[in-house]
Chain A
Amino acid sequence: MYHFVLNCIGIFTHKRKIVGAVVFVSLFFAFLSPTVSGQSCISGLIVNSTGSKPVSDANIAVSTIKGTTSGKNGTFSFCNLPSDSVILTISYVGFETLKYKTFLKPGDNNLGALSIIPAVINMDEFIVTATRTDNRLMNIPVRVNLISPKMLSSLPIQNIDEALRYAPGINYSRPFGIYSTKGIISMRGMSGKEQGRVLVLIDGVPVNKSDGGTVDWNMIDINSVQKIEITKGAGSAIYGGNAMGGIINIISKVPDSRSFLKASVEYGTYNTFGGKVSTGGKFQVKNKDNSGYWLANLSAKQSDGYVTQSETDVKANPYIVKSNMKEAGVNFKTGYAFAGKHSIEAMVNYYNDKRGTGEKVYQPDGNTTDHDSYGIIVNYRGTFEKLKLNSSLYSLTEKYKKVNEYLKDDYTWYDVLSTRRDLGWFTTASASIGKVNLLTGGFDFKNGSVDAWDKYYTSTDIVYNKGKMSTYALFAQDEISLLNDRVRVIAGLRFDMAQFYDGGFYIENPTMETSFMVGGGYQVPHMPEQNWHEFSPRVSIQYKWNEVSRIYAMYSHGFRPSVLDDLCRSGRIKGGFKIANPAVQPESLNNYETGFDLKPSSKSTFAASVYYSRGTDFQYYVSNGKTIDMGFGERPIFIRANISDVEMYGAEAEIRYDVLNSLTVFANYAYTHSTILAYHKITETDTIDLAGKFFTDVPAHTFSAGANWNNRILNLSALVHYNGAMYINDQNTVDEIMLSDQYAAYTTMDMKVWKAFKTHYKLSIDIQNLFDVKYYDSKYAVCPGRFITAEFAVNF
């Protein structure tokens, strides 16, 4: 007689009915099986629960004793098992792991058909950034953090970069909140002073400007964003320049209904008010394989602002006024899929802002920055049998205007007018070779240019700078899947070749404002061409012991090319004068890291990583040993040069727990250590030595935690962020204004409360910096403090 004590431990409760059916079928077959005395054998058939097709190569493990894989027809069997209670663990990539407890009698034990259920694929967990191929989050041996649509909608944020601050290890800087001209996001120990060491993409297209490496985060409409992928560690093997610390890919939305129209208005602190309209829809044409969509977002906001300067500055300068802002943007996206295998998408953006920077003498708006930005992105995706092709064309233009006016000895008024263009063509092709390899290759072309002039109105001077850089790159990558995907290896190599050309710096009609730049060979109307190249490898490997737990290790290379501003512009900087250096070379970095992901229960996840990075030829401003008379005395001349070897290491950990279906909590912590190891002077007269100094604007400790509670009465999210102390200047000395060598650590709490009612309406209140902490960030200016906005939205 056979006894079957059958107990199915389905780890995914929402599929209990299917598992129950499997159990019943198994039980039925088990009772029919003949009785055999002696050793126990076990056999069965693995089938896909949707369609009952046999599943080959599934892993079957009996407790910790034995393991095998299913054959081509889905069957399996093995013997020499003790007559005892055992647990079968059946796993296969893309399916939920099935745990099956049974009692083995001596002889054959045929379990019959065992159905495994396809994993519920959350499309939001598909990652495209890390490999430029579609991959599930857990299939990439790289640390990737995801800001999902659900999380995004629960964050009290005014700008999209603010969403990133709650992710582990993100170094975030936006000193004046919505009044900041720019925000900076860095990671993995990179200085929070420069955006250029982290690559930022929108739908795979780079948006760091070639001129300065900066990103205009203000122009990205929160309404247009679906999710954000944060890929940690050097990623130059796949994306080339700027991807030293990591890659941030902002994935834009596509409509999920036939038609929709949403509108909202908001009002808040400092007389901030604005509105948004979002509309779009999907459409189907006669051929069922052809379909399309369109989507349009419009937004506008303005605010009276606040005084960002310190009380001392306000006393010293009677022309200080509130820093204010107004902005408007529109983006239009449309896509068309045809023949079931091809799709083309196009996106057009336009954005304009004007932000007052807090000083007004005679000009109607005082000192302001003004961005007039527009961009076009066209993306094609196609499938040709085994080959998948993805090709993107883009053109991004920013017309930047900065009005400078101040009254000290006399009145000075000049505009900085700069046209920055970036365009490119990225193409990726990938094909599976057998069951093991997914080969990816492609080429990238980028061209960046700047054409800028400082136009004085209180003198006759016009100072010009211009330059262009073209980058050509080839890359190849192999994603290798071994042992039924338990082991995955990614090996890639990229070659980048760049050319700097058409560079120039010169002055028209110089007066005492700029006469100090006229002599000394600082004017170079036609700079020599420069070329450089870089190889960027990456090898990473992971071992998964189930669908949700893995360990990985990675080596990768990253580099950052020189920015055009350093190559072709001379001018004033804080503490002196910098001269253009067309010969400055890229800085590079080798990154080693390892980490693991665990899912101790169905409700909790835990992930951690440690990394070590060693950088060479890092670019710093260094004295060339000379001084220049800038109209108020001799000041040192600096030049951007490859003079530092640096070291960064740290650790990140994150835990997430679903306390209830409606309540999720998370916490993350990151430790960072970033120092300069060696400082190579370019002249003996340079008295500065930065060896052993810490990076500026890098907190050693950051911590974030939050809870999101959704219920019938009210939805609530509460978040806490701790930002550790950061060194202020390169020499780690006491700053004369801050009277300390570090910006003080600070903790802020943010909240969002929202409620949808009567189907069409939604009211939400965002509270940033609930306890009104007056912290100083990377500038000598105080933050906006508590900032509250209320938004009312209608879904027509």
Chain B
Amino acid sequence: MQGMWFFFFSFLAIGLAFNSCTKDDPAAKASLILKTGSSYTPAGAYIPVGGIIKIGVLASGAGAPLTYIRIDRITGNDTLTQLDRGIYAGSQGLDADYTFSKDTSPYELWRIMVMNADRDTAVRTLVVFKGTGTAYGPLNHFENIRLNFQGNHSSGHFLDVNTGLVFDETSVSGHESEIDLCAYYYVTSGLPSPTFTCPGYTAAVAYYPQFAGWPVKSNIVYDYYSSDNNLVSMAQFDSAANDSLLVTAFRPDKVSGNCKYGYTGKVIPFKTQQGKYGLVKVVHADEKEDGVIDIAIKIQK
């Protein structure tokens, strides 16, 4: 009987030990304010179609890092997400400006939301109205741009889309922060894949190791939806005289991120880190690592 009691109590003690509980810490509260001042769009502003809406964000996770920001444009019953981005902003919080283009809706509610690692959210809204006239702006058109893939070192790899200048591995020194676009070639799922990317894309360093040492690395986001579905034709690209096509072709809820297949004949909408909209037309893309890709660029001035 003594043994039976020992058996019973030892078993019970171990079982209880495994059922102890812990108390969760209370969740940190996120906070968010919108910047004010002459350079930011005020609440109730009237903006002409194509005009710029600039939103400045100051946010804090209050003890937990900020990990997410989303900006939605709400027109009537339609909600179009303009920015949906994972971030990591620690104790310094988030201080960032975002620019968008006014579309044809008479009334727009802009909803800005941040979330911290405790999944606590803070939301602010901004209402803007359609102003009179249009504010589509001029564009720059750069033709006959040739970029080398990673295995071709005969000329330049790195493009500044604002000027159309192409830099090679030597001449890029001192211009790193101006570089927005480059291209590489690889095979995926058995398919040849000439690809656009940017210095800020993590995996790009595999093709251009020098990116690892660049102090500033710019990002471009490419819209795959428009290009994969041929929503912008080469003829439309050629006839675009102002930035209206550049702005409207870009689907912010369908961006593919920092890289995009650049097959011959495709027109790919993009948005630079400075908030400029643009289109890249692929005139010809080789299908080899030591090949080239010939493109033309149209970008907001």
Contacts and interface: CB of A to CB of B under 8 A. Distances in A.
A737 to B, nearest CB: 11
Given A318-B202, A374-B18, A336 B4 contact: yes
A511 B81 contact: yes
Interface string B217-257: 00101001100100000000000000000000000010111
Interface residues of A, number: 49
Interface stretch (B9-17, B140-148, B155-163): B9-17
B165 interface: no
Interface in A377-408: 406-408
B3 A348 contact: no
B152 interface: no
Given A316-B203, A457-B119, A633-B228, A291 B3 contact: yes
B284 interface: no
B268 interface: no
B166 interface: no
A410 B3 contact: no
Contacts of A408: 201-203, 257-258
A512 B221 CA distance: 14
B44 to A, nearest CB: 28
B187 interface: yes
A290 interface: yes
B202 A334 contact: no
Nearest to A636: B189
A318 B212 contact: yes
Contact of B67 (A334, A413, A733): A413
A73 interface: no
Contacts of A294: 6-7, 10
Given A318-B202, A409-B257, A334 B117 contact: no
A457 B117 contact: yes
A348 B86 CA distance: 42
Nearest to B90: A362
Contacts of B3: 283, 285, 290-292, 336
Given A316-B205, A736-B188, A336 B7 contact: yes
A72 B202 CA distance: 86
Interface residues of B, number: 48
A409 B67 CA distance: 14
A285 B201 CA distance: 72
A412 interface: yes
A255 B129 CA distance: 82
A411 B88 contact: yes
A35 interface: no
Interface in B113-127: 115, 117, 119, 121
A338 interface: yes
Contacts of B132: none
Nearest to A287: B1
A268 B196 CA distance: 46
A103 B65 CA distance: 96
Contacts of B7: 292, 294, 334-336, 344, 346
B203 A457 contact: no
B143 to A, nearest CB: 28
A7 interface: no
B87 interface: yes
Most buried by B among A317, A336, A410, A413: A410
A511 B84 CA distance: 8
B119 A348 contact: no
A793 interface: no
B2 interface: yes
Given A332-B14, A458-B68, A459-B68, A736 B187 contact: yes
A408 B121 CA distance: 24
A291 B6 CA distance: 11
A60 B188 CA distance: 73
A633 B256 contact: yes
Contacts of A413: 67, 86, 88, 117
Contacts of B2: 285-286
B54 interface: no
A460 interface: yes
A331 B35 CA distance: 58
Contact of B258 (A409, A459, A511): A409
Contact of A511 (B11, B14, B70): B70
Nearest to A455: B119
Given A412-B86, A631-B256, A632-B257, A317 B15 contact: no
A457 B67 contact: yes
B85 interface: yes
Contacts of A631: 256-257
B86 A410 contact: yes
A520 interface: no
A318 B202 CA distance: 7
B4 A458 contact: no
A288 interface: no
A512 B253 CA distance: 7
Contacts of B119: 455, 457, 460
Contacts of A344: 7
A362 to B, nearest CB: 5
Contacts of A332: 10-11, 14
Contacts of B121: 460
Nearest to A348: B14
Contacts of B201: 408-409
Interface string A303-341: 000000000100111110000000000001011101000
Contact of B224 (A410, A457, A632): A632
Contacts of A348: 11, 14-15, 18
A410 B86 CA distance: 6
B209 interface: yes
A51 interface: no
A319 B11 CA distance: 46
A346 B11 contact: yes
B260 to A, nearest CB: 9
A334 B86 contact: no
Contacts of B21: none
A254 interface: no
A285 to B, nearest CB: 4
A350 interface: yes
Contacts of B88: 361-362, 411, 413, 458
A519 interface: no
Contacts of A410: 85-87, 257
A457 B68 contact: yes
A84 interface: no
A575 interface: yes
B65 A362 contact: yes
Contacts of A290: 3
Contacts of B206: 312, 315-317
Contact of B115 (A317, A336, A407, A460): A460
A728 to B, nearest CB: 14
A748 to B, nearest CB: 31
A526 to B, nearest CB: 26
B300 to A, nearest CB: 22
B242 to A, nearest CB: 29
A223 B67 CA distance: 44
A362 B86 CA distance: 12
A292 B6 CA distance: 9
A334 B10 contact: yes
Interface string A448-475: 0000000101111000000000000000
Contacts of A409: 201, 219, 221, 255-259
Top 8 A-B residue pairs of the complex, sorted by shortest distance between their CB atoms? A458-B86, A409-B257, A316-B206, A411-B86, A292-B3, A285-B3, A409-B258, A362-B88
7 contacts: A283-B6, A317-B203, A335-B7, A336-B4, A346-B11, A406-B202, A459-B70
Given A317-B203, A457-B115, A460-B119, 6 more contacts: A290-B3, A332-B10, A336-B3, A346-B7, A458-B68, A459-B115
Interface of B: 1-4, 6-7, 10-11, 14-15, 18, 65, 67-68, 70, 81, 84-88, 115, 117, 119, 121, 187-190, 201-203, 205-206, 209, 212, 219, 221, 224-225, 228, 253, 255-259, 261
